[in-house]
Amino acid sequence: MKKTSTRLADGRELIYYDSRDDTVRDAVDRRPLDRTVTTSEVRRDPLLGDAVAIASHRQGRIYHPPADECPLCPSEGGRLSEIPDSSYDVAVFENRFPSLAGDSGRCEVVCFTSNHDASFADLTEEQAGLVLEAWTDRTAELSHLPAVEQVFCFENRGAEIGVTLGHPHGQIYAYPFTTPRTALMLRSLAAHKEATGGENLFDAVLERELADERVVLETEHWVAFVPFSAHWPYEVHLYPRRRVPDLLGLDEGARTEFPQVYLELLRRFDRIFGEGEPPTPYISAWHQAPFGTLEEFDGVVREDFALHLELFTIRRTSGKLKFLAGSESGMNVFINDVPPETAAQRLREVASS
């Protein structure tokens, strides 16, 4: 992998990740852009104890542009985009309309391929491996920023999820705090460790799932399963067999095997609802241990946390979506119409030949 860092016309960082070491990236951003001005602010909810990012400047972000005006495609001819070069393998740049910025963290866009009409599932194993390298490198780099406590790599796919740009891409949020979801996991981890005299909760969950009927696929280095208490109609958790706290901890075997496993999962998701159905909307989210102090979680250290990926769709059946209504949005109590065992069986049925 070759990494090339440069700057866009307004000062934002752009990074190319190339599979060839002899690739030269010297294209200049020729757009007449002013310096980016953001109004991002993190406010704490005194009752719930969580955080809300207030970012009014995002109201002006690009919304469903036509394909020939996509800002994530390479720059060609008179069309100038966020990527000055005429082609790229993987490109990462600071979001022009970030939810978090400055002392409130950082937001980046990850372009998986220059092919506007592709999806992550269309990538080759080599391309998917390069994306993994980019995620890992960004996790390492962002963890060194003074304001950053946790790094979150994710992809929103599909208009039903709220995606406003059709080009295959994901995002990275670098938070200045431990996110509420991760804090819940850490509290459960601490309580279980104390109650069992030191047993790791992630290890216990993985062992239980391996012994049950919800495993979707397993390889030498990875296990994918529908969790016992799945929140979403079709939800898969992907764990490396060897517990590591973040992407940096993956060994060579897990890195080599990941593209094959992940691409297979994505392709199965697109087959869940049968032939002729539109692509399955999904969210794919990496959960990594925070880089900040864990003093408030008694007895827990970073190495207790287990890196894992959660992949889920909001489509519950053909032509129908699951909406977060009163119980989910008002009380955070999910109601799942698809039994996890049924979902796991379906995901095994649609395995590629």
Contact 197, 226 (CB under 8 A): no
Contacts of 336 (CB under 8 A, 6+ apart): 230, 231, 232, 233
Specify the DSSP class assigned to residue 120: G
CA-CA distances (angstroms) from residue 205 to 74, 118, 230?
A: 44, 35, 13
Q: Which residue has tokens 């938070």?
A: 175
Distance between CA atoms of 275 and 172, rounded to whole angstroms? 32
In SS3 terms, 308-332 reads as EEEEEECEEECCEECCCCHHHHHHC
CA atoms within 13 A on the CB side of 15: 18
Phi, psi of 193 (to 5 degrees): -60, -40
Q: Enumerate the β-bridge partners of residue 315.
A: 321
Catalytic residues: 169
Instruction: Retrieve residue 246's tokens.
Output: 């973040």
Distance between CA atoms of 162 and 152, rounded to whole angstroms? 18
CA-CA distances (angstroms) from residue 331 to 48, 122, 193, 335?
A: 12, 38, 28, 11
